[in-house]
Structure 1
Amino acid sequence: MSADFYLYRLELTVNGQPVEVVVAARSHEQAFAIAEVEVEKSCLQLPQIEEMAIVEKKRIGRGSGFVVTGRL
């Protein structure tokens, strides 16, 4: 198993609303699981996650990052 971590930027549809989540994980499967947990922790009621998609993936290292805003 690889010890490398990656930054994943995911787009989710939660209760009909678009949500962006950035997580550090070793695999796609772990990224989806972490994103789901983080969304659940941020809601008062159990959210309905309708869709999840990985938008970007980068190896964590010096200079890694994402622009999260939709407009510049």
Structure 2
Amino acid sequence: MSVWQVQEAKTRLSEVIEDAHSKGPQFITRHGTERAVVLSIADYRSLTAHKPNFRDYLLGGPKVDSFDVERDRDTGREINL
């Protein structure tokens, strides 16, 4: 992992890309604050490969096919109106 200033990263972009491929993520800073990260394509694909689809997420929840609700047989109280 290396840290590059924006100007240096702009002038040495090929090196930043090669380092991302061989050494891991490369952080780019502006005025000492991290602003961007350059990743190898393999790292990027591994991050985005496990994105679940919303329908599958909802269907993957607990199964409630045999969900029985026991109701109290109490009829309540009598009231006079």
Q: TM-score range by the shorter chain?
A: under 0.3
- Report the TM-score, using the length of structure 1 for normalisation: 0.25
Bigger share in helix: 2
Bigger share in strand: 1
